[in-house]
Every structure is written in structure tokens, then in C-alpha cells.
Structure 1
Amino acid sequence: MIAISILNRLIVATVTLLGVAAIVFVLLRIVPGDPIAMMIAPGASPADIAALRARYGLDLSLPAQFGVWLQSVLMGDFGTSISLRRDVLELLLGRLPATLELAFAALIVALAVGGAVAVVGTLFRRTPLEPAIDATNGVLLAVPDFVWALALVLVVGVFIPIFPLSGRIDPTLSIDFFTPFYLLEGLIRFRLDVFFDVAAHMVMPVLALALPLATVITRILKEALLEAMVQDYVLLARLKGMSELRLVLQEALRNAVGPALSLTGVQFTFLVGGTVIVERIFAYPGIGNMAIDAVINRDLPLIQGLVLVFGAIFIVINLAVDLLAAALNPRLRHG
């Protein structure tokens, strides 16, 4: 059943990704502005302009352009960036690891903070501390990631300069990376100076991305825990003398984690999309920052490649969350 479900989801995901690519492809070509006009030098002849348009396939009809582009993508050729004059796939693979490190670090922090606050709120239910936790979480829930980013820049970047304001690593550090995963490679190679420097550059963007997600996790997980705490199996464990902390962590949490996990997967896709603004604020060299430059420069091949990458990430994350939820829930696993 799981194999059939995965196959069905992959088919639907492929069709969805193709549809998104087609819509974006058409929209990019009907909006005002000509990307070739941003590339030509002053005094270029009509023949030079025509040659440049032919080079990027912009002289063909819209269906023909889409057909050529789709055929190239299926063969692993995402085209050449108009603004950077480099292979699009090479650019994406070079920037994607930075964004993935940022997103997964933010996810870990959000799970730790959101889970801890939800457990504390459950332990102190029906006490004066519970409404205080709920009210604070409700206020923080309304603060978007870019506001957190700007606040962190002002507080721990300018007023109290603790962390670096921009970039991914100090350029004065001497190391030749074998992979684009700087944080992981620094740890594996025991270059603690590199690891801590990369981590210091990630602190502010990670917090800006993690805090909004942590508030969502807190609300959903706390509601699920409160519902689980009145179930018969928890009441039976309480009669056996189990402590309140063990009741929450050992009995209620494993049954309440399902809804929170599903929502976290959905929210994580928005977190990856949120890296666009946060990376721009901190000048972080990920695909989010590159996406803004691509839109500004009307770099059609690069924008199309970015859309496919973001779409593929969303599909993989949702599929992974569904499989994990099925593995944790016997009813879903055997349904």
C-alpha cells in the first residue's frame, strides 16, 4: 500500500511540477520588459540583437520555446544564465547547499524551541503560567521572519555586535572546501575554527527563520498534547504513579507528534521559500538571494531553474513527511 501511495504521489508531483513550470514559463514571457535589452551594449546593430535572441531561443514562438526548454531540462541542461553567463544547473548546485544548511538548521532550532515550550505549557496547564505562554506565543506568531531578521541585525549586529552581519564565512580563513556544505565539512574535518565561524554567520538568519516556525509548532503540539493528556491510556499511567513529566514525554508526546509533524512539513516548505528575503537581508549566498537578483535582471533561464528547484524541494519534503507520519502511525502504515 505504501509503495502504491508513493507511486501515485510521484505521478501527481510530476504533473504538478510540470504545470508550475509551464505557468511560470508563460508568465515570464508576457510580463513587460525584454531581458535581451539588458544585455546589449550601446550601439548594437539589429543583427547583433537578433543573434543574441536566437542564442537564447527567444526568437521562437512561445510553445516552441517551452518545448525546447523542456526537452533540454529532461536531458539535464537548464540553459545558460543571461546575467551571469554561466550554466544554470552549475549555479543552482553551487548555491543550493548553503540554503539547505540554513533551512535544516532553522528547522532543528524551531523543533527544539517549539517542542520545549509546548511541553512546558502542557506541564503548567490550568495554572497562571499557561495563559501567559499562550499570549506570548500568539503575539510572536504574528511576527514574520523578515521582521525578526531586521530586529536581530539591529540588536546583535549593530547595537551589540556579537555575530557577523553578512556572508557565509570569513574570507580570511584559509581552507579549500571539497564540498559546498561548509558547516558539515568543517565539523567532519575537525576544522573547528571554520565550523564556529560558519555557525556564527548562520546564527541570525537561522533564528529569523526558526522563530516564526517555532511558534506554530508550539501551538499545534500543545493542543495535541492537551488532547492526549485526557485519554484513557494517560489516565491509566497516572494511576500507576507515573510522574507528570514522564506522562507528557513518554505517553502523550509520541501520540501527539503526528499532527505537529504534518504541519511542520508544510511549514518547512514555507521556511525554504522564506529564505529569499532573509538571505537578502544578511547577504547570505544561497539560492534565495540569487532568486532576487535573477528577477531583477529578468534572467529567464535562471528563474525557471530556480522554480524547478523550489518545486522539487517542496515535493520531496512533503513526501518525506507523509512517509514519516505513516511510519509513526500504525493506522496509516497499514491503512
Structure 2
Amino acid sequence: TLELAIVALLMALAIGGTTAIIGARERGTAVEAGIDIASGAALSIPDFLWGLVLILLFGVLVPVFDISGRVSPQLDLPFVTQFYLFESIVRLRFDLTKDLLGHMLMPAVALALPLAAIISQLLKQSLKEVLDLDYVVLARVKGFSETQVILREALKNAALPTLTLVGVQFTFLIGGTVIVERLFSYEGLGNMAIDAVINRDLPLIQGIVLVFALLFVLINLTVDMMYALLNPRLRHG
């Protein structure tokens, strides 16, 4: 579950960050309007519905990705921990890495798209506010291109509010794996939680709830510490 959530988070940051930078650079144009429309559509569709759409498109109509399980059953798995993707990279078993990513891609994308839309909207708005500040105007006077101004001057300050949001949304992302894992028959805490409910396994349900609660607390604590570390106004009182 953590591997799936982390991969989905990285995808959301890549998609949302890229579209936010493009939208801020092309502010006031049809490109920004198109990004806003796409973000609104991505945000209005829940992750489990994205999962169904991806299964239909890339598992049934154009079957290019695996739609069930975490890894192909015929493969020999030398793993010691449940972090299969991390272990396959460390062991240089890139054949297993490819297979794991093939199974992980669609559930990760389903989880990532709504979060990417949130990141895109917030980061783009923060960038547009920062781009009007004096130090950014001075960077333009020095001859920096608009892309250089955004990446070198504006992004590091505009990203701080987004960092807090990402931490909060990451906890919701982990919670969202419950339905998505079931949808893709993906091995994880979410699938286990549904099986526990069906089987009325109360101790297992309590254990899973405690694990999710602990993850939420640790993630939010980590985000608060990172925010204090990255924000000089908090560091210097």
C-alpha cells in the first residue's frame, strides 16, 4: 500500500507540477484555460471511477496493461520484505521491476489524477501571485526568460503552501487505496481491510485502523517538520 501510494504521489507531483508551471507561464491564454478545464474534470471524477475507466480503456479495449494482481504469478520472487518494487531495484532485478510497474501503473494513475488536479490548481495560483512580486520583476529585468524566472526564482517560494496540501492529501491518498486495491485485486492494506469486513474479523479491522491512524499522524508530523525546515520565517521566529 505504501509503495502504491508513493508511486501515485510522485505521479501526481510530476503531472500537477508540470501543468502548474505551464499554466503560470501561459497565464491569460487558452493554454491556461485548457489546463483549468482538464484539472476540473480530473478533480470531479473520484479515483475508483478513474480506475474503472482505465480498466475499460487499457485492460479491455486496448489490453496493454495488467488489470489484476501485484505481480505475475509465474515469476520467481526473491523478496524478503513486502516492498517489492524497492527490493527489485536494489537487487538489480529490472525484469521484476518492469512487471511490478506494469501491474502498478493503472491503480497508481487512478489515485494520482485527482491529487494532480489539486496540486496543479494550488501551485499555479501560488506561482501567479509570486510572479508579481518585486524580486521576480527584478529577475526579468536581469534578462531571465519566463521559464527561468519561474523555475529559479518563483517556484521555491510558491511551493510552500502546496507542500502542506500534499501532506494532507497524501493521507487521503492512502485511504483511497482501499477501493482502488479492491478494484485491481492489488495486494495491500486496502484489500485486506475489505476482506476483514466481509469476514467480520474484528481484531484485524482494529489493527488496520490503527495502522492507518499511525500513518496519518506520522505523515502530518513529517510535513509540519519539513515546512518549518523550508520556511525561513518559521526557523527564525
Counterpart AA for 1:173: L
Cα shift at 1:319:
0.6
Aligned to 1:177: 79
SS state of the match for residue 197, structure 1?
A: helix
Alpha-carbon separation, structure 2, partners of 1:185 and 1:241: 46
Aligned to 1:241: 143
Q: How does 1:280-299 map to 2 (within 5 A)?
A: 280-299=182-201
Is residue 2:131 matched to residue 1:229?
yes
Counterpart AA for 1:129: V
Cα shift at 1:308:
0.5
Counterpart AA for 2:58: V
Is residue 2:64 matched to residue 1:162?
yes
Q: How does 1:1-335 map to 2 (within 5 A)?
A: 99-335=1-237
Counterpart AA for 1:122: A
Alpha-carbon separation, structure 2, partners of 1:134 and 1:317: 29
Alpha-carbon separation, structure 1, partners of 2:30 and 2:5: 35
User: Normalising to structure 1: TM-score of the pair?
Assistant: 0.70
Counterpart AA for 1:121: G
SS state of the match for residue 190, structure 1?
A: coil
Q: Deviations over 1:158-216 (max 9, x none)?
A: 11111111111111112321221111111111111111001100000000000110000
Q: Percent identity?
A: 58
Cα shift at 1:128:
2.1
SS state of the match for residue 167, structure 1?
A: coil
Alpha-carbon separation, structure 2, partners of 1:261 and 1:172: 41
Alpha-carbon separation, structure 1, partners of 2:89 and 2:113: 25
Alpha-carbon separation, structure 2, partners of 1:194 and 1:220: 36
SS state of the match for residue 164, structure 1?
A: coil
Say which is worse superposed, 170-179 or 302-311, in terms of deviation: 170-179
Alpha-carbon separation, structure 1, partners of 2:63 and 2:30: 37
For the pair shown, which has the larger CA radius of gyration, 1 or 2?
A: 1
SS state of the match for residue 166, structure 1?
A: coil
After the TM superposition, which segments of 4 or more aligned residues of structure 1 sit over 2 Å from their partners?
A: none
Alpha-carbon separation, structure 2, partners of 1:327 and 1:113: 25
SS state of the match for residue 283, structure 1?
A: coil
Alpha-carbon separation, structure 2, partners of 1:288 and 1:180: 15
5+ long unaligned stretches in structure 2: none
Alpha-carbon separation, structure 2, partners of 1:158 and 1:248: 41
Alpha-carbon separation, structure 1, partners of 2:30 and 2:65: 36
Alpha-carbon separation, structure 2, partners of 1:165 and 1:134: 30
5+ long unaligned stretches in structure 1: 1-98
Alpha-carbon separation, structure 2, partners of 1:334 and 1:146: 44
Alpha-carbon separation, structure 2, partners of 1:176 and 1:140: 38
